[in-house]
Amino acid sequence: MRHRALPAAIALAALSTGLLAGCGANEATPATGGSARAGGTLYVLSDRATNLFDPGKSSSLPITSLGLVHRRLTAWDAAPGKTTTVVPDLATDTGKVSDGGKTWTYTLRDGLKFSDGSPITSADIRWGVERSFTPAFSGGLAYHKALLDSAATYRGPFEGKDLASIETPDDKTIVFHLARAYGDWPWVVSTPAFAPVPKGKGSEATYGEHPVASGPFQVTKYQSGVEIRLERNPNWSRANDPIRTGLPDAVVFQLGQQSSVISKRLIDDSGNDRFAFGLPFVAPAQLAQVQGNAAAKQRVVTSKSGALAYLAINTTRGKLTDPKVRQAFQYAVDKGAYQVASAGSAALAGDIATTLITDGIAGREQFDLYPAPPAGDPAKAKALLAEAGLPNGLDNLVLVASNANDYAAKAQAIQAGLSRAGIKVTIKALDSDAFEEATTGNNPDYDLVLTSWQPDFPSPNANLQPLFATSEIGNGAYNTSRYSSPEVDRLIEEAQSTVDPAAAAKLWAQLDRRIMQDSPVVPLIFTRNSFLHGSGVTGFQIPDFPAYPNYLQVGLNR
């Protein structure tokens, strides 16, 4: 349900940013030559020890690895140069809504089959959703668990109980009854739990190693830490799937690779590595190697934008309870220095952010309530602090940062900028688990948090509600600024319950401005992601959202 842009967030890899000078987003794709053809083996070089193919446990985006094996009720139409939209996948449309936004009905396409040849029915969709409630299969995205009516105490189908808020009147129809109106439900049914699992199956913890597939590929080998092999699902039909090309004969995930080794293999571009791409992102430390190789430089694909990096201000802490004091931080922070600390230069890191809604999401409006040069405006910050009764600034603030992804080093750029405005900060660097506990628990002992956020689906809802709703304070949730505003909570609920997308977008844009007026966070940059692929890979593109390659369109030029 929560996608902080950290290693566990998106089942891809640890976050690092990078952009090659002269390489725009997706610029490299035409340079591969030729066009994608059916056949061949695509290799994915990953530094992860495993990859989850159990839809009940997965947080995978619809366009990445899980989407190769499992289809869902809806999917994302995601490509460069356009706003990502929700589209039908297993269903014939994105949902028919009734009861003021509380009831959503879906009809399945004709002729759908699992990899074992059995038909995919509405009962299988229901079983997959119900299975996700089983405690043993927790860990995946969970928006539906809070939204489906009477689901608070449900513990899955293996206890012999159905979830009453899901109805399957026939094999083709499934109806969801929500506890409240929710306009983004079509996005929710694109999350992993809405992949079909054959009714009665999937009770074993190892189901993800041999799932029954609905997508173009099925898992034929699963060796954690070494290799996962996907091969063609003989019962998948390209004519019945508008989202996936299913071009390769096989997709092989080579696991447990060192990031530096991945980059070297892809730069060398020999053997099977010509038909590979790498995870994680190309790290700044490795960009120099690529820049020195003209051929490799043409095979880097970079996102237009990405996760929002931001500085959260603990709105419950001392003088930070005063909005004017928090507004001073908007001018005190040196965003230009943060760009350099992130990736060596402003061009490499990503554009400076002044809003909360991520670029590439419908409804986003560009504005800047606190205009300042990239280096900030320390004089303006000092003036605001003086107006708030702090002519000598602030002392002894604690800034918490994770040791992962060089956040502790980036925090030094924040520390230096704040110091120029008379704000003295001590950095407290923690390992990933300690960082999560310190910032999302119920006993916050910090003033500032340096972190980032990648929405789970392309709606402003997924930007704003998890970070700023009162309900998301503590208990493992991600409102790390501890921000609570009854007006904002009311507007969030109003926007969520608005079914018309255009009307909802206006409300979310209004919310973006309203939250920024209270200054619970300082937006820093929209981080860019760069990926390197071999010369035989085609169709390798990063949409405007999300900032990850669309696996479902990748083919090989053999």
Determine the Cα–Cα distance for residues 9 and 459; give it in Å rounded to an integer.
Answer: 17
Determine the Cα–Cα distance for residues 534 and 276; give it in Å rounded to an integer.
Answer: 5
pTM comes to 0.91
pLDDT at 35: 65
The dotted CATH code for 308-527 is 3.10.105.10
In sequence order, which residues have a C-beta less than 8 Å from that of residue 104 and are 6 or more positions away? 95, 96, 97, 175, 176, 178, 185, 186, 189
Instruction: Determine contact, residues 414/311, Cβ cutoff 8 Å.
Output: yes
Angle, CA of 548, 553 and 556, to the nearest 5°: 110
pLDDT in tens, 382-404: 999 999 999 999 999 999 999 98
Write out the residue limits of the CATH 3.10.105.10 domain(s) in the chain.
308-527
pLDDT at 16: 31
pLDDT at 405: 79
pLDDT at 13: 31
Write out the residue limits of the CATH 3.40.190.10 domain(s) in the chain.
52-59+70-216
Partnered with residue 42 across adjacent β-strands are 251
The answer to which of 17-31, 239-253, 541-555 has the lowest mean pLDDT is 17-31
Q: DSSP state, 213?
A: P
pLDDT in tens, 493-514: 999 999 999 999 999 999 999 9
Residue holding tokens 């690895």? 65
Homologous superfamily (CATH) of 52-59+70-216 is Periplasmic binding protein-like II (3.40.190.10)
Tell me what the pLDDT averaged over the chain comes to.
Answer: 91
Give, in order, the Cα–Cα distances in Å from 378 to each of 127, 252, 422, 492: 57, 52, 8, 33
Determine the Cα–Cα distance for residues 441 and 452; give it in Å rounded to an integer.
Answer: 17
Determine the Cα–Cα distance for residues 248 and 254; give it in Å rounded to an integer.
Answer: 16
pLDDT at 12: 34
Residue 231 scores a pLDDT above 50: yes
230 φψ region: left (φ > 0), alpha (ψ -120 to 50), beta (else): beta
Residue 363 — very low, low, confident or very high, per pLDDT cuts 50/70/90? Answer: confident
Q: DSSP state, 475?
A: T
pLDDT at 215: 98
Residue 289 — very low, low, confident or very high, per pLDDT cuts 50/70/90? Answer: confident
Residue 15 scores a pLDDT above 60: no
State mean pLDDT over 247-262: 94
What proportion of the chain, given as a percentage, has pLDDT over 70?
Answer: 93
pLDDT in tens, 414-464: 999 999 999 999 999 999 899 999 999 999 999 999 999 999 999 999 999
Determine the Cα–Cα distance for residues 32 and 99; give it in Å rounded to an integer.
Answer: 51
Q: On the CB side of 78, how many CA atoms lie within 13 Å of its CA?
A: 31
Residue 278 — very low, low, confident or very high, per pLDDT cuts 50/70/90? Answer: very high
Residue 3 scores a pLDDT above 70: no
pLDDT in tens, 194-224: 999 999 999 999 999 999 999 999 999 999 9
Instruction: Determine contact, residues 457/191, Cβ cutoff 8 Å.
Output: yes
Instruction: Determine contact, residues 383/373, Cβ cutoff 8 Å.
Output: no
Residue 247 scores a pLDDT above 60: yes
pLDDT at 18: 30
